[in-house]
């Protein structure tokens, strides 16, 4: 049972690591859109932008709602990135160690 739980934790870690790259892609694309480097009327750009928006907005919206107005600067991807890193570096290893110690004792 412990190996199954550790595998699930490893998969969660993989998904969170992948989500960091999605956040980076959205941040870069939003800058490119803001400075009119890419054309949103192009179907490929529009599809990519819509996909990244739909994937990141459920995570970023609650963060944006709690942040004060920064004058047009959106730091919500940075906050989300820090939260994900905290989960990856602190919470998941703690839970994995807890599972290992409980399986060794029982």
Question: What's the domain range around 57?
Answer: 2-105
Q: Which of 32-36, 71-75, 78-82 has the lowest mean pLDDT?
A: 71-75
pLDDT over 80 at 47, yes or no: yes
What confidence tier does 106 reach under pLDDT thresholds 50, 70, 90?
low
| Number of structural domains in the chain | 1
* Mean of pLDDT values over 19-38: 94
What pLDDT score was predicted for residue 105?
80
Does pLDDT of 58 surpass 90?
Answer: yes
Distance from C-alpha of 87 to C-alpha of 94, rounded to nearest angstrom = 10
Instruction: Give the chain's length.
Output: 106
Which one-letter DSSP state was computed for residue 9? H
């Amino acid at each position: 049972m412990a190996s199954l739980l550790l595998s699930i934790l490893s998969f969660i870690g993989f998904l969170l690591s992948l989500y960091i790259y999605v956040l980076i892609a959205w941040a870069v694309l939003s800058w490119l859109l803001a400075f009119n480097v890419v054309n949103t009327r192009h179907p490929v750009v529009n599809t990519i932008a819509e996909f990244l928006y739909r994937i990141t907005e459920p995570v970023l919206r609650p963060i944006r709602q709690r942040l004060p107005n920064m004058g047009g600067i959106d730091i919500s991807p940075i906050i989300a990135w820090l939260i994900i890193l905290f989960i990856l570096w602190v919470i998941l290893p703690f839970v994995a160690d807890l599972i290992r110690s409980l399986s060794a004792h029982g």
